[in-house]
Structure 1
Amino acid sequence: MRPALLNPLFAEVTSLPGVGPKQDGLLRYLLGRSETPRLVDLLLHLPSSVIDRRNRPKVRDAMTGTVVTLEVTVDRHRPPPPRNKRAPYLVYASDETGDVVLTFFRGRPDYVEKMLPVGAKRYVSGMVQMYDGIPQIIHPDRIVDEAAFAKLSGIDPVYPLTEGLAQGSLRRAIAQALAKLPALPEWISPEVISRCNFPPLKDALTRVHVPQEITDILPDGPFWSRLAFDELLAGQLALTLVRAQLRRPAGNRHAGDGHLRHKIIDALPYALTSSQQQAMAAIAEDLSKPVRMLRLLQGDVGSGKTVVALLASAAVAEVGKQAALMAPTEILARQHAKTIAPLAERAGVKVAILTGREKGKERRDILARLESGEIDILVGTHALIQDDVVFKSLALAIVDEQHRFGVRERLALTSKGEAVDVLVLSATPIPRTLVLTYFGDMDISELREKPAGRQPIDTRAVPDTRLGEVMEAIGRALKAGKLVYWICPLVEESEAEGTDHLTNATERFESLQKRFGADVGLVHGQMKGAEKDRVMGQFAAHEIKLLVATTVVEVGVDVPAATIMVIENAERFGLAQLHQLRGRIGRGSEASTCILLYHEPLGQMSKSRLAVIRETTDGFRIAEEDLKLRGEGDVLGVRQSGLPGYRIARPEVHAQLITQARDEALRILKDDPKLKGPRGEALRCLLYLYERDEAIPLLSAG
């Protein structure tokens, strides 16, 4: 139950005067919510900059292109002529040093007359421009009388907006939300407050939204940092609670004698690499310990994570238990199933797949076999966590590309069995600070080598002015029987507003088809699953030799015979993404080539990225470089800047706070594991405020 103290903050924004259905729709979009936002969502939407209105020159001294606040007397109005609605409404005003024109396009006469009555003194704020030698302010930001001016702070926050929403109406809504902020108990320990010099929460929110100095809204300042720490602490506390739940003593354990694992290893067409062997030994040891496993298996593209996941699943099958492997996309789930099934079959281990595509009788049949224990390994998407999916005895949950799933999905999967062990797979090697942020303190296994026989990839960067030469080279490769990927950043025109030079996949497919005929196929994310599979199947079977695709092939698609990749507009992709895409080639025994086509001129960031990707195929080094260049969002394949799931904390600014929040969370759970004391109550408020309350039911569990 949410603490009653927080109720005012969880009221809907539409309860505020002046926030109607239209604003509701715009605020949902702006704040990324599917239902009506609450006051707390407004309060955690922080400004991106400020306007300093303390600059108060005389009209004569107002500098063009600056924001000024002028004290003027209103002299006369000049409405537009009746026949010319497009002409602006002009108001002439002055002080003792000169005249200024206040200009309103489509200005409503009643509104302008009420705001600026002739003869009145007004304080007018906005950007000064010159027109016909006279200073003018178009649509002033502020028009107030003396009494209202005395109450203004002089510095206005500027918020990120969406089209149709005005700064003024958002500022008014946030000011009303601030007024309803209740007195909340302090959840940060006194030691951390004094060490980090944090202000109380109310001061932090007030000074960020009503800055008294320009520096009040800087992310590295004390006010924003306090809020970032709160958010990180909520995240770390939730992870630590999940961790403590997983670490509770577990009953009978899940590792067998190895007979199925040996059969699978014998069926492999190659020997396990030494890091695969080490990872498997660590997992087998975890499975036999009296506490539940929580291990992250990081491995580069093509390093053989799926085989390790299969061996872990076989270990639990040896004692008659089941495993589930959950992937974020259907393409990836089917790829895992395709890799796992033939090897599992050789050992007599039964595998099934469940995604949104399995329906009706087929789905009912899978669920019945799962519940009776006939299926040993179930591979699938989010479909695995639906209520009607019942395992006979789930012992191992394997989550692939886990940063794309929240704590909720993780808990939903592990709750389908008793003391379920968790193995997380990541094809994006994740730098240590990020592992802490997203996974808490996990045990980590790394697959550093590539399987034997893999050939190096020759990566070249080529300007798109040489497209003709690239086409000719591709023609020669197709004649020689090679398989080629051609990657485009977009599916079609509509995605490309304001990006004229970006090629869309549909257009490129048509131009390549004209040139190479039936050898060319197209696959993108807007196609139906069955259609994507059909085209991928044709490519794998050499029925088509040139596959035009969007980044839908980024993860998990396995066609070992493909040896050439062209990535168009390569400067548009993040490092991790370029690395993932390139990993689709170089999977067989032939040498491979990756051509990065870029559009000039290149910015500094794009130059650095293309240089790194040409120099190395080591995913761990690429991840570290990517973090330096871009910050978190991209390292984890999540495209917005900043931390996915975090609105306030910024990796490049608050990295040192992540470790402090983690240490604090561990200390809290050591001192008060059920959050029962007075500080525990305060921390429950914190978890609700930052939507980490899915961890709260764990406090009452066992």
Structure 2
Amino acid sequence: MDKTIFQSVRFLPGVGPKRMEPLHDLGIDTIYDLLTHFPFRYEDLQVRDVSTIMDQEKVTLAGIIVTEPVVHYYGFKKNRISCRMAIGEQVIQVSFFNQPYLKNKLIQHQECIIFGKWDAKRSTLMGMKIISTKEDMEETSNFEAVYRTNKSIRQSTLLKLIQTALPLYKENIPNPLPSSIQKKRQLLSHPEAVEGMHFPKDERHSKQSRQQLVYQELFCYQLKLQSLKKKRHHSQKGQSILYENAALKVFIQTLPFTLTEGQKKVVNEICYDLRAPYEMSRLLQGDVGSGKTVVATIAMVATALTGKQACLMVPTELLADQHYETICALTKETEIKVGKLTGTTTLKERRQLLEQLEKGELQLLVGTHALFQEDVIYHDLAFIVIDEQHRFGVKQRVQLAQKGMGVNVLQMTATPIPRTLAITTFGEMDTSILKEAPKGRQPIKTFWVKEQELEKVYDYIEKQVQSGRQAYVISPLIEESENLDVQNATEIYEMISKRFENRLSVGLLHGRLKSDEKESVMNAFQKNEVQVLVSTTVIEVGVDVPNATVMVILDADRFGLAQLHQLRGRVGRGEHASTCILIASPKTEQGKQRMQIMCESTDGFYLSQKDLELRGSGDVFGLRQSGIPEFKVADIVQDYDILEQAREDAITFVIEEEDSVTYKEIQEFIEQTSRETEEVLNG
């Protein structure tokens, strides 16, 4: 591979020291960066008929200038050129703002071709640029690229640099895809696609170019993931947890319920990994209430039975408390010692707990971010479980895994991940899925009502409480500010307390309460001493009160589908029929659509796919937190079919061609070009 394409952009004519910094700000450091700084859209320069265009549409119109152009000056450096242009029998107004130098190009009685935005109400073309003659049009494509720029680099400058670089370096652009795959998928070569993205001959050429770039980007990424997976499976560095099968079966028989078929299958998958010589790297996806905690507990007990240690990391103290109590209850008939470590653990308790942990007297530890702090030393950590994994950054997960040697890692999520995201973000991991709900769970009915019907909803809550049930009322998200969310929840709590005064007890839960205050409120709710719990989204995961059957979510249109599904999952956890009521008056079509979808389905996997389609991957999970790469061209929702093809080809290629010259050349290309992926995969 000719590496001159990866040399600094400063070697290109027209790039001096002053241009280097603004180019760097655009992510352009090398010649290859410049040539792969692709347009984010195209302007259609084909001349249109006035009768076919819509208001505010960008179009190219051709006509005769019938009046002398006049420049009007107003304010500092502000001006407008005005003239009239005849298109057939119709005469329209043409205006250009702050481009007085164009006056000389608008010549009365001569033909002119102008690109601009059409204002139908005023019959005016708000001109953006002049395409002088029909000959100019014939010499160029009907599509003109529009690039992402900054204050120091204009469109024209960027275009000029690309026009300079392409003929000089086109032959040096690598063509990393194997010829067999290029032929199989009927793709252009990489150099052809790069040129076609900047200067497409027509729409078909533009689509073909994009298809090659999308496929190549996804194939290279998937190849990296599949290589990592293969290396891990052939590595002997992991801790093999050789537990006694009979002893684990005895523990499972002590559980107060029978495992579902889905739970049995997933337990077997995880335990197979525990016994293997390689490090486990598994993702457990389980829909709300599918019983992931029990599965994780069985695997942690298997680890503890060998004398090794396991820990469970969760994102909130509330969840840590709940998991700690659940695991203590499930292991009460064993000699396994369970501990809990959070930010509010007292110094005395912490000192004692860390001492037991280092000596190996404590086998299972549940906690928050506190689990990977510097002074936390494990005697023999062999297995970690990370619950609600998308709440933790990549580096935080790595820090915890580094607390032991060859540690086995199980990441869990109650936010079902669409296949699109799963194979992009977690392609190097093994995956287990729990869809089946434990027996006895009642389906949840979901209703969407407008804000003006709120009184009827409160009447419904009161009737449910009178029949012995309990309810949640969720305060809406104001913005990314916990203080404002707390303030909002407090106001709702005061209003509801007044509404139900002397008839039922109302509690308040939010992230700013002290740990013992949260515990007190939750204990009161679990004992039915509090019938209505007003809360922020702090109860989104993990909280389990089987008697609560009503979930009211205020301003529900502020939440995404995945989060609404999580909140809804706090009810329907017992034998009683449950209801989720979404209070919302959405202003947008997308908002209305989200409410309708929530009422139609309780399948978390279907909802997460819809959420992805409506909002995009960054909004669903948060790009930084989840480790979803930002591709230059590919869109993992729009390009799902290509993603599947690229993954299938990458899996086959890793198996069949790993020792080939082509494979090594592709790896070299990936090393040269992947920055974002390197950061994502290595934390």
Partner residue in 2 for 1:500: none
CA shift, 1:584, in A, is 0.5
CA shift, 1:665, in A, is 2.6
CA shift, 1:247, in A, is 0.9
CA shift, 1:326, in A, is 3.6
Partner residue in 1 for 2:240: 253
Partner residue in 1 for 2:196: 207
Q: Which amino acid aligns with 2:673?
A: L
CA shift, 1:342, in A, is 4.2
Partner residue in 1 for 2:568: 582
Show CA shifts across 1:583-616 (max 9, x none): 1012234332222334378959955x65665565
Q: Does 1:654 align with 2:646?
A: no
Equivalent of residue 214 in structure 2, options 219, 225, 228? 228
Partner residue in 2 for 1:125: 115
How does 1:70-81 map onto structure 2 within 5 Å? 75-80=68-73
Partner residue in 2 for 1:187: 176
CA distance in structure 1 between the aligned counterparts of 2:203 and 2:514, rounded to whole angstroms: 51
CA distance in structure 2 between the aligned counterparts of 1:578 and 1:206, rounded to whole angstroms: 45
How does 1:87-236 map onto structure 2 within 5 Å? 89-93=79-83, 103=95, 107=98, 112-117=99-104, 124-129=114-119, 136-138=124-126, 140-143=127-130, 153-158=141-146, 169=154, 172-173=157-158, 176=161, 183-215=172-204, 221-236=207-222
Partner residue in 2 for 1:238: 224
Show CA shifts across 1:399-449 (max 9, x none): 334456676665555454333333332324445555433333755544444
Partner residue in 2 for 1:460: 447
Cα contact 1:483–1:563 (8 A) shared by 2: yes
Change (3 A) 1:532 1:195: farther
Cα contact 2:629–2:680 (8 A) shared by 1: no
Cα contact 1:400–1:425 (8 A) shared by 2: yes
Cα contact 2:311–2:383 (8 A) shared by 1: yes
- Equivalent position SS for 2:461: helix
CA distance in structure 2 between the aligned counterparts of 1:10 and 1:528, rounded to whole angstroms: 57
Cα contact 1:394–1:420 (8 A) shared by 2: yes
Q: Which amino acid aligns with 2:231?
A: Q
Q: Which amino acid aligns with 1:512?
A: I
CA distance in structure 2 between the aligned counterparts of 1:383 and 1:339, rounded to whole angstroms: 20
Equivalent of residue 270 in structure 1, options 253, 257, 262? 257
Equivalent of residue 47 in structure 2, options 55, 62, 65? 55
Q: Which amino acid aligns with 1:655?
A: Y
Show CA shifts across 1:22-73 (max 9, x none): x999x7xxxxxxxx8867888777655432123178x999997552255777
- Equivalent position SS for 2:310: strand
Q: Which amino acid aligns with 1:564?
A: V
Change (3 A) 1:510 1:653: same
- Equivalent position SS for 2:234: coil
Structure 2: gaps (5+ residues): none
CA distance in structure 2 between the aligned counterparts of 1:584 and 1:659, rounded to whole angstroms: 34
CA shift, 1:126, in A, is 0.8
Partner residue in 1 for 2:326: 339
CA distance in structure 1 between the aligned counterparts of 2:542 and 2:294, rounded to whole angstroms: 13
Q: Does 1:686 align with 2:670?
A: yes
CA shift, 1:290, in A, is 4.0
CA shift, 1:306, in A, is 0.8
CA distance in structure 2 between the aligned counterparts of 1:175 and 1:523, rounded to whole angstroms: 59
Q: Does 1:566 align with 2:555?
A: no
CA distance in structure 1 between the aligned counterparts of 2:410 and 2:480, rounded to whole angstroms: 41
Q: Which amino acid aligns with 2:177?
A: I
CA shift, 1:278, in A, is 3.6
Change (3 A) 1:104 1:5: closer
CA distance in structure 2 between the aligned counterparts of 1:166 and 1:376, rounded to whole angstroms: 58
The more displaced of 566-575 and 237-246 is 566-575
CA distance in structure 2 between the aligned counterparts of 1:288 and 1:613, rounded to whole angstroms: 41
CA shift, 1:375, in A, is 3.6
Q: Which amino acid aligns with 1:200?
A: S
TM-score computed with the length of structure 2 as normaliser: 0.77
Equivalent of residue 617 in structure 2, options 627, 633, 651? 633
Q: Which amino acid aligns with 1:658?
A: L
Partner residue in 2 for 1:299: 286
How does 1:482-501 map onto structure 2 within 5 Å? 482-491=469-478
- Equivalent position SS for 2:639: helix
Cα contact 2:260–2:436 (8 A) shared by 1: yes
Change (3 A) 1:284 1:504: same
Cα contact 1:482–1:545 (8 A) shared by 2: yes
TM-score computed with the length of structure 1 as normaliser: 0.75
CA shift, 1:254, in A, is 0.3
Q: Does 1:665 align with 2:655?
A: no
Change (3 A) 1:61 1:405: closer
The more displaced of 377-386 and 414-423 is 377-386
How does 1:192-591 map onto structure 2 within 5 Å? 192-215=181-204, 221-250=207-236, 253-257=240-244, 261=248, 265=252, 268-328=255-315, 331-344=318-331, 346-354=333-341, 369-381=356-368, 384=371, 390-402=377-389, 413-430=400-417, 432=419, 434-440=421-427, 443-478=430-465, 482-491=469-478, 508-516=492-500, 519-523=505-509, 536=522, 539-540=525-526, 542=528, 544-570=530-556, 573-591=559-577
CA shift, 1:209, in A, is 4.2
CA distance in structure 1 between the aligned counterparts of 2:267 and 2:559, rounded to whole angstroms: 34
The more displaced of 234-243 and 289-298 is 289-298
